[in-house]
């Protein structure tokens, strides 16, 4: 059986080759010094894992279809559904998004899903900073610790991270999940302020603060790839 199609990306920061599988496709990230002839055998070695991951993504999308980016369509927001009211205003150079109750008004300068998607992503990113901060600050206070900075990003394969210096990064797509999933990811990263690895000590600490962590980890594994616009 032929392998799934994939793209190759060189990375100066990569120490070894890795494969990233997402709803957008399969990407092989390789360090600068790795010859391209080594990529195909590496992908073939991981073929069964790639196929299983793609199958899980298709199953997740079947259970949770992606939002319909049209006037009257709906987009998820922390477990709720917001109905889109799209206004195309030719000549508008900057999109405007405003939420009123369960309605999300979007004014864009051009028709089509791409202009709408870009406007919505910018809005979700802004909202993500507010939603994360409102959870992160109380969480670090309860843990009697602190963080050094907060970034909102759009990583393909990572939901959040915590550096050794306490710099936090969260994926805006977490706002497409139920609120308790964002709550959990925040607690997960706060625990990393004290234990930086995923050792038994880390999981014990997390379990003491978030006993349901296994359930939410499983939810992200099953549905995470469907969280996209």
End-to-end CA gap in the chain: 31
Residues 196 and 205: their CA atoms lie apart, in Å, by 12
Q: Which CATH architecture has domain 112-226?
A: 2-Layer Sandwich (3.30)
CA angle, residues 213, 214, 217, in degrees to nearest 5: 85
pLDDT in tens, 91-124: 899 999 999 999 999 999 999 899 999 999 999 9
Q: Are 204 and 104 in contact (CB under 8 A)?
A: no
The helix/strand/coil state of 160 is strand
Q: Which residues of 52-81 are buried (b: 16+ CB within 10 A; e: fewer)?
A: ebbebbeebeeebeebebeeebbbbbbeee
Q: Which residue has the tokens 């992606």?
A: 66
Per DSSP, 33 falls in state T
Are the CB atoms for 77 and 176 separated by under 8 Å?
A: yes
Pick from 55, 32, 27, 56: nearest CA to 42: 27
Nearest-10 crossing angle of helices 179-192, 113-142: 50
At 165, list the tokens.
């210096």
* CA 107 from centre of chain: 25
**Where are the chain's structural domains?**
6-63, 112-226
Give the residue ranges of the chain where pLDDT is below 50.
1
Q: What is residue 222's predicted lDDT score, i.e. its pLDDT?
A: 84
Spatial separation of the C-alpha atoms in residues 161 and 192, rounded to whole Å: 9
Q: Which of 185, 189, 191, 197 is nearest to 221 (CA)?
A: 185
Residue 101, CA distances (Å) to 77, 80, 84, 163 in order: 12, 10, 12, 36
Pairing state between β 6-11 and 25-31: parallel
């Amino acid at each position: 059986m032929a392998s799934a199609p994939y793209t190759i990306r060189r990375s100066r920061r990569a120490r070894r080759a890795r494969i990233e599988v997402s709803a957008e496709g399969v990407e092989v990230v390789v360090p600068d010094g790795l010859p391209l002839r080594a990529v195909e055998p590496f992908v073939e070695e991981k073929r069964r894992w790639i196929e299983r991951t793609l199958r899980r993504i298709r199953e997740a999308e079947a259970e949770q279809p992606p939002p319909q980016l049209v006037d009257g369509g709906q987009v998820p927001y922390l477990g709720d559904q917001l109905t889109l009211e799209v206004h195309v205003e030719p000549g508008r150079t900057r999109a405007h998004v405003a939420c009123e109750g369960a309605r999300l008004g979007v004014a864009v300068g051009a028709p089509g899903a791409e202009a709408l998607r870009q406007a919505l992503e910018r809005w979700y990113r802004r909202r993500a900073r507010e939603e994360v901060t409102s959870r992160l600050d109380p969480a670090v206070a309860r843990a009697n610790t602190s963080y050094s900075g907060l970034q909102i990003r759009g990583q393909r394969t990572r939901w959040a991270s915590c550096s050794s210096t306490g710099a936090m990064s969260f994926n805006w797509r977490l706002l497409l999940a139920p609120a308790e999933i964002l709550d959990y990811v925040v607690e997960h990263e706060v625990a990393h302020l004290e234990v930086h690895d995923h050792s038994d000590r880390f999981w014990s600490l997390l379990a003491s603060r978030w006993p349901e962590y296994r359930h939410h980890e499983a939810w992200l594994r099953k549905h995470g790839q469907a969280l996209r616009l």
